[in-house]
Structure 1
């Protein structure tokens, strides 16, 4: 299995024909926050890593009593055919192509039943119609019908009336659409379109700030897509995520960098 390093005791064959949720590092880190909630709420455990961590900014820290890293970690659990990828630090600018290739090759080797990409885009680009919904789907042209595609089609299709300067000069296709502040999402969609991997994306409109509520709503949408009805649980690492829960500290607490 390309670029995958399992934890001891995990059978990599369990990834075959599974549903993988892949957050794309984008505006407000909303997809990563959503992945955090999915991992905790579904009680998923780390089953391995994708790559050696050389395409992202080095990072390590504790989430409770568990060491987490900035590399791409994969989470799942026995009896649940759902796996969540988590990337906790940004992709190195000089390694963007290598990062996308690494992820594409891994997903291709897994032979999943479906890959769901999570991304976030700049709410300032919404028009009046898009203000009615926070979450919209992105699908390649003429995707083969499946239960997963049907679920995505229950969400409105993302329609942006923006012109990518590169596309406007070379006349290339408008898929993937121009996605403001969505990081490597477009590159990932292009890479997956070149494979036989069934895939689609859910985009969430947001603005940078206290995005805890945005993450909760995004997670509920994803859980509905996954067909999982569970109580949402925040990870221990979220303590003080957007400052003190007791209000402004006056500039002396964990909220100082945000509000001070």
Structure 2
């Protein structure tokens, strides 16, 4: 059997301290997983179970590498079209190494290969419009270059962090500062909940929600962020 087109290169992230790559299969994101962020978005964090949305696999990339095939230089992220209100959301990223479905929370960490620090970029005006019209908001979250990320760190190296500072600044001004321990649904619960809806497989990646302080960025801003003990990233919006 022949292919009508050349096979695209699979999306991947570098592994910290190695020449290895982690090939990305699917990307899921958790909404409203920090109580302070849920409140700033006008929601009640005490009454909502975790919910998920998705990004395309190739939306996730390591900013220090750039994307030569799509003319994105290292440490640059293009401002996307169709928005005048691009928001940052700093997040812990979970990389799945062992698949499964209906995973119990007590067993979930055995399925986690490693961790990274990523930013869920959001076209907030598109999202708000879609919400008001009761339409899907896929394109508010799932656009090109919407998931800049650090290299991934294996859990075999750093373990499974429960408490760590998560932060983001714009042009050197602090915008988000929180701690992973403040997650409403910690990583084992997130993995378990998602695995009840889909079968997780190696290469799946989960963005686990953001603390309060989200806000807009514009062309020329320098965005920096990270999670202590996991990684840091920095890029200019172009």
Instruction: Give the TM-score normalised by the residue count of structure 1.
Output: 0.28
Question: Could you say which structure has the larger radius of gyration?
Answer: 1
Instruction: Give the TM-score normalised by the residue count of structure 2.
Output: 0.29
Higher strand residue share: 2
Higher helix residue share: 1
Higher relative contact order (CA 8 A, sep 6+): 2
